[in-house]
Amino acid sequence: MGLNGWIRLVCVLMGAVVVGGSARGQNDPLADRTVASWDFEERELHLEPVPMRWFRVNGGKDVDGGRFPAWNRAELSDAGAVSGSWSVMLPTRGGSTAMRLASGVVPVLPGARYAVTAMVRTEGLHYSAGFVRAWTLDARLDVIGSSVAISEPVRTQGQWKRVTFIVEAPEDAAWFQMELLLLQPDEIEGFERAPAEVVERDFSGSAWFDDVALVQVPRIEMRTTRAAGIFEMPEKPTLEIRIEDLTRRPLDALVVVYDIDGNEVARRSMPRTQMGRPIEWMPELPGFGWYRAILNVSGDSATLGSVRADFVWGPTLPRVGHPRGLGVVADMEGVDAAALEAMLRFVEPGTIETAVQPERGSAGTALAAALLEREHELIVRADAPHFVDEASMRSWMGGVADIVARLGERARRVMITDSGDEAAFWDSKPPLDLGLLRAALRETVPDPIVMLPWDLRHLENDVALSADGLSYFVPWTAPPGAVEIGTREWSSASERAIVLEVAPSSMGGRRAACESVSKKAALAWAAGYPRVLLSDPFVMDDGGVSASPELAAWRMMAHTVGGASFEGMLPTPKGVRALIGQRADTGVLIAWNDGAEPRDAVIRGYMGEGPFRARDIFGNEVPFEVNGGVVRMTLRSGPVILDGIDPRILKFRSGIRFEPKVIPARVERLDGDVVISNPWETPISGRLRLREPGESAWEFLPRVIPFRLEGGESRGYAVEFSFGPGEESGRRELIAEVEVRGERDLPVMYAPMPIEIAMEGIDLTTAYRFSPRRDGRAENLVISAVVTNVGSQPISLEAVAFAPGFAGRQAPVGKVYPGESVTRTFVFELGSATLRGKGVRVGLVEIDGTGRLNRTIEIDP
C-alpha cells in the first residue's frame, strides 16, 4: 500500500501518541497495534540531553568531509511541542544532524507491515529539510537493506507537519530501528549536481520532532489482474484483493468503484471470514471507460488503511496494424515490460517516441529495437547534456550514431532535447551543432532526419529552421482551438509531429481532460499532422503503474483516425464541430458541441444508407435517430464518433457554399454565386433551391438553380439577391435545399451556407443600462451605440433604434472619419417595466448610400 493510502491512518494517529510514557488506554482503538511511541516527556526521570535509548550520530571533522559533524548536537528541547512540553531538536551549524534509536530496543514480527508516524517542524532552513528514516534489523542486528524507508522532506518554517510512511518487515526481520534527520541538500537521496554548480547549504536553523510512533497495520493489497489495469472486451475488469493482519484483530473491508465523473457504480463488503486469502471480484460496470476502485479497511472503530486501483476497460476493436496517425511517448523508466506490452496491444499506436541515452550504454536501446520489431514507426529521443568542449560533443554524437546504426534505417528520426534547459530552443540556440550530428548519422543511415521539440506558444526562429523536422508540444492547459491557431502559424517542416500533454493526475475533471485531448487529436489529424502523440500513457505513483484516463479515449481516437483520410468539415450551426473522415471500409464523422446552445447542438441530414453506429470517446454506444438514412443526433461536449456514413454525400453537402461569404449590408440588389462541387467520379444533376435565414424575406433570382456537373467538377452559379432594410447583420445562414440525381437518386438534402452581413469599414458596438428616475417610477432603459470607422474612407451615418411599443428613435451621427469613434444614446422612458426579456434593434443608415446595418440587443428579464 502506498503512502497516499495511509491518510486515514494518519488522521487516527493524530493526538493518539502516548504521553509521558504511559500505556494507551483501553478505549484507544489502536492500543493493540501500537508497537512503540515516543513523546519525549521524560525530563523528570531522565536528565541526559538526548532521550532514553536514543543516541547522537556524529562523525567527520568538517562540513565537506563528514555527514554528521560533531558540532551538530541533537537534544531534548522545551522550545515547543505538539503534546506536553518537550520535543527533540536537531540543529545545524553546517552539515547534517542525526539522532538514532538504539538497536535491539523494539522487536518486530517477520512479514508484518508497520507505519511510522511523526510530527515535524523546521525553522530557519532554506535548503536543508527534516526527515524520519527507519529500517529493520535481523537477529544479528545487521541492517536489512531492502527494508530501509524514509519520509518525505519537511521544511515548514515553524508549523508542525505530520509525516507517515510504511516499513516492511522481511521474513528475517527481528528488530526495528529509526533515526531523526536534518539533511543538507547533497545528503538527500537522488540529489544530482550539474557541472560547476554551487550547492547551497544551511549554516543555521533547526528541525524539531515530536509524537513519534510505530504502529503495526494490516497488509492491504488490491491490484488488477491485468498489467497497468488495461482490460478489453470480452474480458471484464477483475480486482484481486488480499488483506492480512498478524494481530488477528477483527477487520472490516469495503470496496467501492467510481467512474470517471466520481460517481459510485459498484461496491462490495468483505466478511471477516475472507481475510487472509486472495479474493477476486469482477464488478458490474455501466460501460467502457476509466474507473477507480478504493478499498477501505477498518477495525475496532478505526480506519486502518485505504488503497486504490485504477483501470480502463475498452470494447473489442478491429486490429488496424499500426497505421500512421496517433501514437504515444513510451519510456521504460518506472514502467515494467508487461505494462508497456499491454498498452501497445490496447492502443496499437502507429508512431512511438522513446528515449535513448548514449552515456548510459544500452539503456532504452533494447526497448527501441523491440518496438521496431513490432513494426512501429520510431522517433528516437536523445537528451543532450551540457558539453564542456567540442570533443565531448562529438563523442556524444558518435554514441547517438552508434545507437541508430544498431537500430537500422527505420530509426532515422532522431529528436534532440536539451537536458538542461528546454528554453534554449526558442530563446537562443540548439544544444549542439545539428549539421555535425546530421553528418555523423549519415554515416550510419541514409537520409537521417534531425528533429527538435518545439513549444506551441513560441514562433519558429532560425533554430527551428535549422532542423529537418519539428515536434510541437501542446500544453494540457491549451484549449483544443490552439491546435488550429498554431497550425496557421507553424511552417511546413518536412517532418512534423505534435505531442499532446496529459493533464496531471492530481488535477480534477478527468472527463474534461479526456475530451480535450480527443478534440486536439481530431483537429491535429484534420490539420494534416502525420504523427500525433500522447505524452504520458501511464500514471505512476507509489501505488504502481496504471493506464491514464486519457489512454482509454486515445485508443478510440487512434482506431478512428488511424489510416483514415480527412475529407473536410461538415457545415454546422455556430458552436458545433463536425469532421469528415474516409477509411478503406467506411466513412466516419467526429462531432462535438463546441459552445453552442443545447438546442442548437444537433447534426441532422442524409448521411448514406448506413448501417450507422455512434460511440463516445470510450467506445460506449450513443443514442441517435435515423430514418431512411437521415440521421439526427444531439451532441454534448465530448466527441461522438459516427461510423457508417457515406463521406461523399457529406463532402457534397460541405462543398455547397455561397460567395461572397461577407455580404455588404445594403438595401439594393446584390450579386453572388452558389458554388456546387461533385465529389463523385460520375456525373450528377439536380436542382438547388435557396432559402433565406429564419423568417427573413429575401429575393433570389433565380431561387431554383438547375445544375449538372461532371465527376470531380466544381462550378459557381450566378444569382441576384436582395433583403429588406430590417435584415439583421452579423453571422447568418442560408439554406440550400438540394435534389441530386446520379447513379442513384438521393433524398432531398439540406446544406447550410454560412454568410456574414456587414457594413464595410464600420464597426457597431451596443450596450444597455437602466437609469433611475427622479420620480421613483420604473427605470428608463438607456441604449448606447458606439460607431467606429475601421475603414479608409469617411462615411456619413444616422443611428436608429426600434423597441416594441415605442416609437422609433433617430440620432444623427454625421461624418465619421477613419479611426474615429462616435457614441449615440437612446432613452426609452420606463423601459425597465416593458422591455425586459425583449429585443431592441439598433441600426445605422448610410446618409448618401444604401448601407443599412442592424443589430438586436437582448434585454435581460
Q: Tell me: the pLDDT tens digits for 742-755?
A: 888 888 998 989 89
Residues 540 and 746: their CA atoms lie apart, in Å, by 53
User: Per the structure block, which three cell numbers stand in for 460?
Assistant: 519558429
CATH of the domain at 730: 2.60.40.10
Residues 93 and 75: their CA atoms lie apart, in Å, by 14
Identify whether 522 is part of a domain.
Answer: no
Query: pLDDT category, 586, cuts 50, 70, 90?
Result: confident
Indicate the number of domains in the chain: 6
In 724-791, beta strands by DSSP E: 730-741, 746-758, 762-771, 780-789
Residues 243 and 252: their CA atoms lie apart, in Å, by 10
Write down the pLDDT at residue 124.
95
Same domain for 664 and 600:
no
- Residues near 431 by Cβ (< 8 Å), separated by ≥ 6? 384, 416, 417, 418, 419, 420, 424
Average pLDDT of the segment spanning 431-441:
83
Same domain for 231 and 202:
no
Phi, psi of 397 (to 5 degrees): -60, -40
* Adjacency order of strands within the sheet including 684-691: 662-664, 746-758, 730-741, 684-691, 704-709
Same domain for 685 and 645:
no
Same domain for 698 and 685:
yes
Strand partners, 137: 143, 175
Same domain for 92 and 41:
yes
- Residues near 62 by Cβ (< 8 Å), separated by ≥ 6? 69, 95
Top pLDDT among 573 and 116 is at 116
- Residues near 497 by Cβ (< 8 Å), separated by ≥ 6? 351, 353, 379, 451, 469, 470, 471, 472, 529, 530, 531, 532, 533
Query: pLDDT category, 6, cuts 50, 70, 90?
Result: very low
In 3D, which of 759, 563, 553, 546 has the Cα closest to residue 664? 759
Write down the pLDDT at residue 28.
52
In 3D, which of 751, 753, 755, 750 has the Cα closest to residue 732? 755
Could you read off the pLDDT of 168-198 as tens digits, one per residue? Answer: 999 999 999 999 999 999 888 766 665 556 7
Same domain for 85 and 165:
yes
Query: What is the torsion angle, in degrees rounded to the nearest 10, for the CA atoms of residue 833, residue 834, residue 837 and residue 843?
Result: -120
In 3D, which of 133, 138, 143 has the Cα closest to residue 67? 133
Could you read off the pLDDT of 140-156 as tens digits, one per residue? Answer: 999 999 999 999 999 99
For residue 515, pLDDT beyond 80: yes
Could you read off the pLDDT of 208-227 as tens digits, one per residue? Answer: 999 999 999 888 899 999 99
Residues 736 and 732: their CA atoms lie apart, in Å, by 13
Write down the pLDDT at residue 116.
96
First to last CA, the chain: 56
Strand partners, 521: none
> Other C-beta atoms within 10 Å of 73: how many?
16
Q: What residue type is 32 in one-letter code?
A: D
Least confident of 349-363, 366-380, 796-810: 349-363
- Alpha helix positions (H), 764-811: none
Determine which helix (DSSP H) or strand (DSSP E) holds 558, and give its type and residue range. Answer: helix 549-561
Identify whether 515 is part of a domain.
Answer: no
User: 3-class DSSP state for residue 727?
Assistant: coil
- Residues near 261 by Cβ (< 8 Å), separated by ≥ 6? 510, 511
Write down the pLDDT at residue 83.
87
Cβ(209)–Cβ(87) under 8 Å?
yes
Identify whether 536 is part of a domain.
Answer: yes
Cβ(736)–Cβ(674) under 8 Å?
yes
Average pLDDT of the chain, as a whole number? 86
For residue 324, pLDDT beyond 70: no
Least confident of 7-21, 535-549, 626-640, 787-801: 7-21
Query: pLDDT category, 129, cuts 50, 70, 90?
Result: very high
Strands 704-709 and 684-691: antiparallel
Identify whether 553 is part of a domain.
Answer: no
Phi, psi of 345 (to 5 degrees): -70, -35
Give the residue carrying C-alpha cell 520489431: 373
Write down the pLDDT at residue 238.
98
CATH of the domain at 595: 2.60.40
Query: pLDDT category, 378, cuts 50, 70, 90?
Result: confident
Half-sphere exposure of 496 (CA within 13 A, CB side): 18
- Residues near 127 by Cβ (< 8 Å), separated by ≥ 6? 184, 185, 200, 201, 202
Least confident of 452-456, 615-619, 806-810: 452-456
Same domain for 385 and 499:
yes
User: Per the structure block, which three cell numbers stand in for 590?
Assistant: 467526429
For residue 15, pLDDT beyond 50: no
Identify whether 319 is part of a domain.
Answer: no
Could you read off the pLDDT of 276-317 as tens digits, one per residue? Answer: 788 899 999 999 999 999 999 887 677 778 899 999 999 998
Could you read off the pLDDT of 87-100 as tens digits, one per residue? Answer: 999 999 999 999 99
Cβ(88)–Cβ(40) under 8 Å?
yes
Write down the pLDDT at residue 423.
46
Identify whether 798 is part of a domain.
Answer: yes
Write down the pLDDT at residue 534.
92
Same domain for 163 and 57:
yes
Same domain for 500 and 439:
yes
* CA angle (790, 796, 801) in 5-degree steps: 90
Average pLDDT of the segment spanning 119-124:
97
Percent of all residues in the chain with a pLDDT value above 70, rounded to a whole number? 88
Average pLDDT of the segment spanning 595-606:
90
Strand partners, 417: 383
Identify whether 518 is part of a domain.
Answer: no
631, 650, 669 — which closes off a domain?
A: 650
Identify whether 561 is part of a domain.
Answer: no
Same domain for 422 and 448:
yes
Write down the pLDDT at residue 824.
95
* Adjacency order of strands within the sheet including 698-701: 657-659, 670-677, 714-723, 698-701
Query: pLDDT category, 24, cuts 50, 70, 90?
Result: very low
Same domain for 368 and 284:
no
Half-sphere exposure of 303 (CA within 13 A, CB side): 15
Write down the pLDDT at residue 27.
47
User: Per the structure block, which three cell numbers stand in for 134?
Assistant: 527507519
Write down the pLDDT at residue 698.
93
Determine which helix (DSSP H) or strand (DSSP E) holds 314, and give its type and residue range. Answer: strand 302-314
For residue 602, pLDDT beyond 90: yes
Write down the pLDDT at residue 313.
98
Query: pLDDT category, 81, cuts 50, 70, 90?
Result: very high
Residues 739 and 327: their CA atoms lie apart, in Å, by 42
Same domain for 235 and 106:
no
For residue 10, pLDDT beyond 50: no
Strands 377-384 and 351-355: parallel
Least confident of 50-59, 389-398, 458-467, 697-706: 458-467
CATH of the domain at 365: 3.20.20.80
253, 282, 314 — which closes off a domain?
A: 314
Residue 839 region, left (φ>0) first, then alpha (ψ -120 to 50), else beta? Answer: beta
Range of the domain at 198: 3-217
705, 724, 757 — which closes off a domain?
A: 757
Write down the pLDDT at residue 21.
39
CATH of the domain at 184: 2.60.120.260
CATH of the domain at 239: 2.60.40.2550
Least confident of 44-48, 388-392, 810-814: 388-392
